[in-house]
């Protein structure tokens, strides 16, 4: 049937309104007139595949990646820069509106450029025709064999071809694996999870690969254990001049540009705060720069991340007011009474958000709260808790580190008199 796309939804699909309800069409935008083939979607929705573009909508561009339309990693490459920036802002505002916060002040999005992603999680599968290496198709388990990736750093993309050759010799037929690549500040960290057996010949091949490609560290996950097969040097991130070890497969912000933008907002919004707490502190991305001008308690529940943070604290002897605390904030959130000494707070929870911790913050007297989130939906829910607790939502700043993807990072400032 012929459809006219009216808007782009929260997951990046174009939406056509019909008498039978909304129809979701990937890789389309508002104003597109298309011929489409309908098919059932998840949870009773109606989806369609574009069979032909009759009239393009405003803001359409040629996708820069040859895998666009197959690879599920980037679904919005057909939007030009201006339209994409408007969609990022709309994506956040739609989520906020669902919780009655649609009129919140919003800064223009800061969007990381192409070739800036420093973290990739690749899937690999050995087939009779060779090794497939890449990402799953959109809403499918089928693997797209990726040969280019315009969002990733070139140093990571350069590993695709040699990785295929390496895995072809190590993986049995029909074996599958997940390859995590992270470019830290002093080299690449690689973790291989599944698909290979840790024998002597495998270890020698992996060690030779790491040496020839200057991989800083290469680990293999087996039965939940992380095996250090080749460690040429300890992988580190540098926060405000302080080297901090990065655990194998550890979390860092997806782009250096995004990290810098988030850090700048945090420092601006916590100007004047003297006693701060950093919840879900990770390895200290925000704790270390803030500790140059305020006392900081960095709270983290993951032991490997906390150990890395503590290692950085031990090196930063000049930061007398920075301390680390191990605590599972999902099971034991800091109570309002425990938050009483602090006049500034940072919270950067996982995608699911932190309902229990937000409830305690809402009851507290902390004057300034800086919240980060990579999920506008869970953030909007948590923001509602703070607002209902007496906080004013002063500003939201989208900081998009996931170019051409429906995933959006954001920072927000809350204050309480």
Q: 219-259 pLDDT, tens per residue?
A: 999 888 899 999 999 999 999 999 999 999 999 999 999 99
Domains of the chain, residue spans: 1-60, 96-113+252-415, 119-231
Q: Are 36 and 23 in contact (CB under 8 A)?
A: yes
DSSP state letter for 292:
T
CA distance 282 to 294: 18
Q: Are 56 and 31 in contact (CB under 8 A)?
A: yes
Confirm whether 1-60 and 119-231 share one CATH topology: yes
Angle of CA points 403, 404, 406, to nearest 5°: 100
Task: Write down the residue that tokens 């305020």 correspond to.
Answer: 294
Q: How much is the pLDDT for 223?
A: 82
Q: How much is the pLDDT for 215?
A: 98
CA distance 305 to 307: 5
CA distance 70 to 27: 10
Backbone φ, ψ for residue 60 (5° rounding): -80, 140
Q: How much is the pLDDT for 331?
A: 96
Is 280 part of any known ligand binding site?
yes
What residues contact 282, with CB distance under 8 A and at least 6 apart? 251, 252, 300, 302, 305, 309, 348
Task: With a cut of 70, list the residues of the chain below it in pLDDT.
Answer: none
Backbone φ, ψ for residue 15 (5° rounding): -125, 125
CATH code that applies to domain 1-60:
2.40.50.140
CATH code that applies to domain 96-113+252-415:
3.40.50.150
Is 204 part of any known ligand binding site?
no
DSSP state letter for 396:
E
Is 414 part of any known ligand binding site?
no
Q: How much is the pLDDT for 7?
A: 96
Q: Catalytic residue at 394?
A: no
CA distance 111 to 88: 9
Question: Which one from 74, 104, 149, 374 is the annotated catalytic residue?
Answer: 374
Is 61 part of any known ligand binding site?
no
Q: Where are the beta strands (DSSP E) in 2-102?
A: 2-4, 7-8, 14-18, 21-25, 33-40, 46-55
CATH code that applies to domain 119-231:
2.40.50.1070
């Amino acid at each position: 049937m012929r459809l006219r796309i009216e808007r782009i939804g929260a997951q990046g699909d174009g939406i056509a309104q019909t008498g039978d309800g909304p129809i979701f069409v990937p890789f389309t935008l508002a104003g597109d007139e298309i011929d489409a083939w309908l098919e059932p979607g998840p949870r009773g929705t109606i989806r369609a595949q574009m069979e032909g573009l009759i009239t393009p909508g405003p803001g359409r561009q040629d996708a820069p990646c040859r895998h666009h339309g197959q690879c599920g990693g980037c679904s919005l490459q057909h939007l030009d820069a201006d339209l994409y920036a408007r969609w990022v802002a709309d994506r956040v505002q739609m989520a906020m509106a669902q919780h009655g916060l649609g009129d919140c002040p919003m800064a223009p999005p800061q969007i990381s450029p192409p070739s800036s992603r420093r973290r990739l999680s690749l899937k690999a599968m050995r087939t009779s025709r060779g090794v497939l290496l890449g990402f799953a198709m959109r809403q499918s388990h089928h693997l797209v064999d990726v040969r280019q990736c315009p969002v990733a750093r070139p140093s990571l993309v350069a590993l695709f071809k040699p990785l295929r050759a390496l895995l072809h010799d190590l993986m049995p037929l029909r074996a599958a694996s997940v390859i995590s690549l992270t470019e830290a500040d002093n080299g690449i960290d690689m973790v291989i999870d599944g698909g290979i057996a840790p024998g002597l010949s495998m270890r020698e091949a992996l060690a030779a690969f790491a040496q020839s490609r200057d991989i800083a560290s290469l680990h293999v996950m087996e039965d939940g254990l992380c095996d250090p097969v080749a460690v040429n040097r300890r992988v580190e991130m540098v926060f405000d001049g302080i080297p901090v070890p990065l655990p194998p497969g550890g979390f860092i912000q997806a782009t250096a540009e995004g990290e810098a933008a988030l850090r700048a907002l945090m420092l601006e919004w916590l100007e004047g705060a003297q006693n701060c707490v950093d919840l879900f502190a990770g390895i200290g991305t925000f704790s270390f720069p803030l500790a140059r001008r305020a006392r900081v308690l960095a709270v983290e529940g993951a032991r490997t991340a906390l150990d890395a943070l503590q290692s950085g604290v031990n090196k930063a002897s000049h930061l007398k007011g920075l301390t680390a605390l191990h605590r599972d904030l999902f099971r034991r959130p800091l109570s309002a009474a425990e938050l009483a000494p602090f006049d500034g707070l940072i919270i950067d929870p996982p995608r699911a958000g932190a309902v229990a911790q937000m409830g305690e913050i809402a009851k507290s007297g902390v004057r300034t709260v800086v919240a980060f989130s990579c999920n506008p939906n869970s953030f909007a829910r948590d923001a509602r808790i703070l607002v209902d607790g007496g906080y004013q939502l002063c500003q939201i700043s989208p900081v998009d580190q996931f170019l051409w993807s429906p995933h959006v990072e954001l920072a927000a400032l809350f204050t309480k008199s």
